[in-house]
Structure 1
Amino acid sequence: MQALVIVAHGSHLNPDSSAPTYDHADTIRDVDAFDEVRTGFWKEEPSIREVLRTVESDEVYVVPLFVSEGYFTEQVIPRELRLDGWNVSDWESDGLSASHVTLTADDVPEKRVHYCGPVGTHEAMTDVIVRRAESVTGDPNVGGGFGLAVVGHGTERNENSAKAIEYHADRIREKGRFDEVQALYMDEEPEVDDVTDFFESDDIVVVPLFIADGFHTQEDIPEDMGLTDDYRMGYDVPAAVDGHDIWYAGAVGTEGLMADVVLERAADAGADIGDTLEVVRERTRKTPQAGD
C-alpha cells in the first residue's frame, strides 16, 4: 500500500488557509491515485507531528505544499515528521532542485517515508501559473497583448524565496506566450506596488505565487497595486490603474491544477500513480469565465 501526505502551513487566524490543501487532497483522493491521502499542518490539526501515525501504508510520499525551499521544508517539516537521519544536503539542491529523499521516521520505523521537495519549485508549477491567468481572464488563449506579473513575497533573509519566482517567470518568458513577463515582490525590489511601471501592455495579469489566499493576497497586494483603497470594499477584475487594466488572479495555490503538481512530486519520488495525472489535467482543464 502507498499513501500520500500533503503538508502545509495552515493558520490559527485564517480559516481559508487550509482550504486549498483539502481541495487538492480531495481531487487526488477522487482519482484513486493512492490507497490513502492525508493532510497535516504546522498551525492546524491534524498536525504534521502526528500525521504519519494516521497512515496504515508502508510506503508514504510526503509533499510539502510550500512555495520555496527554506526554513519550513528544510527544518520544521523534517523535525515534526521525526525523519531519522535527515540532512538537507541529501537533496543536493541549489535552492530550486530539491527532488526527494527516502528515510524512516522515529515514530513509525516500519514505514518508508519519501520526503519530496516543495511544489513551488517544481517545473509543473509554471503551467499552473499560466492556467491561473487563463482562469482570471476567462480566456484559454490569453497571452498576446497581455503582460504577466508573477508575484512573490521576497525577503533578504532567505535568498531561495525569490528563486522560485524568477524561475517560473523565466520559463514563461521563454515560451513567448505573453508580450511581457516580470517577477515582482512585496518586500524587495522590484516591488508589486509599482506594477504599472514595469509594463507597456494595456492588460496585465497579476498572479501571486502563494499557496492560499490570506492577508497578503487579499489585503496587502490589492491595496498596494491601487486596485482599491480598502480591500473590504472589494475591487473590479479587471481594475483600471494608471491607464492599464489589472487582472488580479489571487493565490496560485487555489487553482485546481495544483493537484497535478502534487502528483508530479510524488511520481518523481517513485509513487505508482498510473494515468491519474492525465485524469486530473482533464478535470481541471475547463477554464471558468472571468468573474465566476
Structure 2
Amino acid sequence: MSALVIVAHGSHLNPDSSTPTHDHADTIRAVEAFDEVRTGFWKEEPSFREVLRTVDSDEVYAVPLFVSEGYFTEQVIPRELRLAGWDPEAWDSDGTSATHVTLTAEDTGQTVHYCGPVGTHDSMTDVIVRRAESVTGDSDVGAGFGLCVVGHGTKRNENSAKAIEYHARRVEAMDRFDEVRALFMDEDPEIDDVTDYFETDDVVVVPLFIADGFHTQEDIPEDMGLTDDYRTGWDTPATVDGRRIWYAGAVGTEPLMADVVLERAADAGADVGRAIDQIREETRQTDAAAGD
C-alpha cells in the first residue's frame, strides 16, 4: 500500500486557507492514484507531527503545498515528520530544483519519500498559464496581453523570489504573452507599480500563493489600485492608469494544482498510472464549463 500526504500551512485565523489543500486531495482521491490520501497542516489539524499516524500505508509520498524552498520545507516539515537523517543538502538544490529524498519516519517506521515543494515544480508554469485562461475566460489568451507573476518576496530568504522569477522566465520562453514580469510585495520591483512595467493594454496578474487570504484578497488588490477598500470588491478587469488589470487570485486555488502534486509524487517514484493525464483532462473540462 502507498499513501499521499499533502502538507500545507493552514491558518487559525482564515478558515478558507486549507480549502485548496482539501480540494486537491479530493481530486486526487477521485482518480484513485493512491490507496490513501491525507492532509496535514502547521496551523490546523491533523498537524504535521501527527499526520503520519493517520496513515495505514507503510510507504508515504509527502508533498509540501508550499511555494518555495525555505524554512518550512527544509526545517519545520522534516522535523515534525521526524524524518531520520534529514539534511537539506540531500536535495542538492539551487533554490528551485529540489526533487525528493527517501527517509524513514523515526516514530512510525514508515518509508517517506519527501518531495520538493509544488511551487518550484516545472508543471507550476502550466498552472500559472491556466490561471490566466480561467480569469479571462479565454483558453487562447496571450496575444495582446501581459502576464505578471506576483510573489511575496523577502530579503530574509532569497529562495522566495527565485521561484517567482523562475516561472516568469519559463512563461516568457513560451512566447505566448507579449510581456511577462515578476513583481513582489516586499521587495523590488513592487506590485504597487504594476502599470509602470507593462506597455500592453491588458495585464493578467497571477499571485504565486497557495491560498487566498490577507495578502491576495486585501493587500495586493489595494496595492495595485484595483480598489480603495478591499471590502467593497473590485471589477474584473479593473482599469488602472488606463490599463485593464485581470486579477486572478491565488494560483493554488486553480484545480490544475492537483496535477502538480501528483507530478511531485510521480517524480519520487509513485506509480500514478494515467492519473496525471486524467486530472489535466478533467480540470480543462471544468474550466470550460465554468466559462460557458
With the length of structure 2 as denominator, give the TM-score of the two structures.
0.98
Q: Which residue of 2 aligns with 1:178?
A: 177
Q: Which residue of 1 aligns with 2:42?
A: 42
Report if the CA contact (8 A) 1:7-1:39 is conserved.
yes
Please give the alpha-carbon distance, in whole angstroms, between the structure 2 residues aligned to 1:249 and 1:289: 18
Secondary structure (helix, strand or coil) at the match of 1:14 reads coil
Please give the alpha-carbon distance, in whole angstroms, between the structure 2 residues aligned to 1:11 and 1:276: 30
Secondary structure (helix, strand or coil) at the match of 1:39 reads strand
Q: Which residue of 2 aligns with 1:162?
A: 161
Residues 218/185 of structure 1: CA separation in 2 closer, same or farther (3 Å cut): same
Q: CA-to-partner distance for each residue in 1:138-196, whole Å, 9 max, x for gaps?
A: 00000000000000000000000000000000000011000000000000000000000
Report if the CA contact (8 A) 1:136-1:290 is conserved.
no
Secondary structure (helix, strand or coil) at the match of 2:284 reads coil
| Count of aligned pairs | 291
Q: Which residue of 2 aligns with 1:242?
A: 241
Aligned sequence identity (%)? 79
Residues 40/106 of structure 1: CA separation in 2 closer, same or farther (3 Å cut): same
Q: Which residue of 1 aligns with 2:135?
A: 136
Structure 1 residue 230, shift from structure 2 partner: 0.2
Segments ≥4 residues shifted beyond 6 Å: 289-292
Please give the alpha-carbon distance, in whole angstroms, between the structure 2 residues aligned to 1:47 and 1:283: 30
Q: Which residue of 2 aligns with 1:112?
A: 111
Please give the alpha-carbon distance, in whole angstroms, between the structure 2 residues aligned to 1:283 and 1:219: 31
Please give the alpha-carbon distance, in whole angstroms, between the structure 2 residues aligned to 1:89 and 1:182: 31
Alignment of 1:1-292 (within 5 A): 1-109=1-109, 111-286=110-285, 287-288=287-288
Report if the CA contact (8 A) 1:9-1:41 is conserved.
yes
Please give the alpha-carbon distance, in whole angstroms, between the structure 2 residues aligned to 1:291 and 1:155: 36
Structure 1 residue 202, shift from structure 2 partner: 0.2
Report if the CA contact (8 A) 1:63-1:262 is conserved.
yes
Please give the alpha-carbon distance, in whole angstroms, between the structure 1 residues aligned to 2:24 and 2:107: 26
Q: CA-to-partner distance for each residue in 1:244-281, whole Å, 9 max, x for gaps?
A: 00000000000000000000000000001001111100
Please give the alpha-carbon distance, in whole angstroms, between the structure 2 residues aligned to 1:171 and 1:92: 21
Secondary structure (helix, strand or coil) at the match of 2:135 reads helix
Please give the alpha-carbon distance, in whole angstroms, between the structure 2 residues aligned to 1:272 and 1:119: 18
Q: Which amino acid aligns with 2:60?
A: V
Structure 1 residue 290, shift from structure 2 partner: 8.2
Report if the CA contact (8 A) 1:257-1:284 is conserved.
yes
Q: Which amino acid aligns with 2:183?
A: L
With the length of structure 1 as denominator, give the TM-score of the two structures.
0.98
Q: CA-to-partner distance for each residue in 1:211-232, whole Å, 9 max, x for gaps?
A: 0000000000000000000000
Report if the CA contact (8 A) 1:96-1:164 is conserved.
yes
Structure 1 residue 107, shift from structure 2 partner: 1.3
Q: Which amino acid aligns with 2:157?
A: N
Secondary structure (helix, strand or coil) at the match of 1:98 reads coil
Q: Which amino acid aligns with 1:56?
A: D
Please give the alpha-carbon distance, in whole angstroms, between the structure 2 residues aligned to 1:175 and 1:160: 23
Please give the alpha-carbon distance, in whole angstroms, between the structure 1 residues aligned to 2:57 and 2:149: 38
After superposition, the CA RMSD in angstroms is 1.1
Q: Which amino acid aligns with 1:170?
A: R
Structure 2: gaps (5+ residues): none
Structure 1: gaps (5+ residues): none
Report if the CA contact (8 A) 1:237-1:291 is conserved.
no
Report if the CA contact (8 A) 1:135-1:289 is conserved.
no
Secondary structure (helix, strand or coil) at the match of 1:84 reads coil
